[in-house]
Structure 1
Amino acid sequence: MQQELPASALQPVGRYQVNNAQNLELITSAAHVGFSFEGREAKVVASASYAGAHSYFQYELDGEYQKRVRISGLNDTVVITAPSAGKHTVWVYKTTEAHTGPLVIQKVVGANVKPLIRPNAPLIEFIGNSITCGAAADPSEVPCGTGEYHDQHNAYQAYGPRVARAVKANFILSSVSGYGAYRNWNNNGPTLPEVYEKIDLQGKTTQRWDFAKFTPAIVSIALGTNDFSDGDGKTPRLPFDSARFVNAYVGFVKDVKSKYPKAQIALMSSSMMNGPRKQTLENCLTAVKKQIDTAYPSAKPVALHFFKPMQASGCTGHPSVAEHGVMAAELEPFFKSLL
């Protein structure tokens, strides 16, 4: 017998809210929900943020990744088909990032459909920019330079979710394309530290995120690529300021520590940077670590990981899905040691 599971009964991981219509809005990249059903198929009724918009989700069926699905307009139904009868599990992940609008889940329809709860495991929060979002990584359906910016997003295959799955940890992503520690790629802000407390990581939003909902064991922060960038060539851009970068970064780490006092802080460099800029960023992150370790002598020391440089081959110079796999493999022993 077919049953309807309202989206408000699901147990999301990542930033989310239940809206006035009692639908579930998955807000951040790779925010996810799970459900089980019996038989051969279940239906997910979902929508983009407004009538003309589209979004994407990705899903696993019985622990195996399936594909990316486009969600169009205010009412779209995705049929998930299992190869055999019996009981099945599904995890649905938002593919796109917060600033392209929420992925709205209205309900799940199927036989004996029930919400799943994430297995009990340490949680890693990945804070960062477009790289952390998995932006511009996947032109498999919409070629680079065509469609809209979020058409090449692939949050499920970004380095953070991949390394979390490899080390059997849960994960949330708090990342925004183009944002930096003290300035963004083509403007002076609001920066990631300035929007971190907003539920959707956007400057104009007044609603705050409730940090009590999740308690990460590790907070991974990867900022700097955009602070160092030359901008869009239109907006005036001053040379990179190491002192401002370090001060802003230290302030942000202190803010994160105020929310998660027991979390291990891990700072990442950028896989997209080479040469003198790469060295300067690593020097800055070492300075941030020194200041934080001095300020919190009884806490776990800040961990650092400096990426091996790569010639990124995704869209607009970003890492591709395959290159995110390389980054995740490089990070796996680092996170294993922290856990």
Structure 2
Amino acid sequence: MIIPPENHHYSYTGRIDFSSPKTPVISWPGTSIKARFTGSYLAILLDDHEGKNFFNVIIDGDDLTPYVVQAEKGKHKYVIATSLSTGEHQMEIYKRTEGEDGLTTFLGIELADNATLLPAPPKPIRRIEFYGDSITSGLAIEAAINGNEKIGAEKNNYLTYSSIAGRDLNAEVHTISQSGIGLMHSWFDFTMFDFYDQLNADGNNNSHWDFSKWTPDVVVVNLLQNDSWIYDTLTEKPSVNAIVENYLSFIRLLREKYPNTYIICALGSMDATRPNSPWPSYITSAVKILNSQYKDEKVTTLFFKFNGYAAHPRQAQNRENAQLLEQAIRELTHWN
């Protein structure tokens, strides 16, 4: 028995394109679909556009041993379980990979013929939104310290500092991130200014997210790592004032969307926060202007310590950074 995507018992999280309710399109890292069901059998139905995406399928909350789906290009059925115990079960489909890995159309799930889809558990009341780059996407998070950082199977947004903090704080999370992206310069021809308001995360496109649909309590911005790398390659380098003004402009854009949201201006834990790096000071300068000139007291900073090696943070560093972020958010919001 196939349960189509438009069934109201599914619980969707993330920027998902529902322009066709029968074929919702998933693109952002951390996009999630949850459901409760009965029966011993579960399969998921996906139409992956590129064949590069990976998904965790978590049954009954066991996220230590998820079923990992490597999506094949085109329409396919992926059998997850055939002998579940009797009674109720919970399921979560979680996108490990990011927009650069292509779009995926969710086509529903398949249950045993005598099974039932039950109302999903209620969503958390708390909400956190992240704007970031490969660190927030989870590039190479499951790789060895000295491993290849380009293996798709080792990219896993579920294990990032951002997603861990969201779960620990019992908050619903939206992740707006792209490996290689910056605010002034990216490793491609668009920046977060072009990208932050898109519904679809597959490159720079004309899709538009409706910010009125979902308002976070906290926004975390972890950007400038790529700007710092690209800065050293530029013949004409932007001035300190230009960098600060650019950063300030982005935070002001977010403030226009979210007048009452706490904003944490973060950086790290790669070499932009190495000892004596100037990049944290640019963020600090921008936040001081926001606090004083714009009287915006709901903006603050958080810098994750340099992880100490020339690679993306792995699981251990992400767990440490999640703890720091959780503490910062609790201090701002007084969440228990």
TM-score by length of 2: 0.88
Percent identity, please: 24
Please give the alpha-carbon distance, in whole angstroms, between the structure 2 residues aligned to 1:232 and 1:151.
31
Contact persistence 2:42–2:109 (CA under 8 A): yes
Alignment partner of 2:251 out of 230, 233, 253: 253
- Provide the aligned C-alpha RMSD in A: 2.3
> Partner of 1:125 in structure 2?
129
Partner of 1:171: 173
1:327 aligned to 2:324?
no
Say whether the 8 Å CA contact 2:52–2:102 is kept in structure 1.
no
Contact 1:56 1:103 in 2 (8 A): no
Question: TM-score with structure 1 length normalisation?
Answer: 0.87
Counterparts of 1:1-339 in structure 2, within 5 Å, are 3-9=1-7, 10-18=10-18, 20=20, 22-50=22-50, 53-65=51-63, 66-67=65-66, 68-81=68-81, 83-110=84-111, 111-114=115-118, 116=120, 118-139=122-143, 144=148, 147=151, 150-184=152-186, 186=187, 189-201=189-201, 204-230=204-230, 237-239=235-237, 241-273=239-271, 274-277=274-277, 280-297=278-295, 299-312=296-309, 317-339=311-333
- Stretch deviating more after TM superposition (159-168 or 3-12): 3-12
Confirm or deny: 8 A CA contact 1:45 1:78 kept in the other structure.
Answer: yes
Q: 1:126 to 1:138 in 2, by over 3 A?
A: same
Provide, for residues 17-39 of structure 1, a one-character-per-residue CA deviation record: whole Å limited to 9, x for no partner.
Answer: 13658212111100111011112
Residues 127, 261 of structure 1: alpha-carbon distance in 2 compared, 3 angstrom cutoff? same
Asked whether the 8 Å contact 1:23–1:104 carries over to 2, the reply is yes
Asked if the contact 1:5–1:114 (Cα under 8 Å) also holds between the matched residues in 2, the reply is no
Are 1:34 and 1:115, in contact at CA under 8 Å, matched by a contact in 2? no
Paired residue total: 321
Return the alpha-carbon distance in structure 2 between the equivalents of residues 41 and 35 of structure 1. 14
Change over 3 Å in CA distance of 1:272–1:211 after alignment to 2:
same
Distance 1:249 1:21, change over 3 A: same
Whole-Å separation in 1 of the counterparts to 2:47 and 2:315: 25
CA drift at 1:116: 2.2
Cα deviation, 1:205-259, whole Å, max 9, x if unaligned, reads 11211112211000000111001004797xx554464222211111111111111
Give unmatched runs, 5+ long, in structure 1: none
- After superposition, the Cα gap between the structure-2 partners of 1:302 and 1:151, relative to the gap in structure 1 and judged at 3 Å, is same
- Cα distance in 2 between the residues matched to 1:265 and 1:181: 17
Residue 276 of structure 2 aligns to a residue in which SS? helix
Unaligned runs of 5+ in 2: none
Pair 1:35–1:283, CA change in 2 (3 A)? same
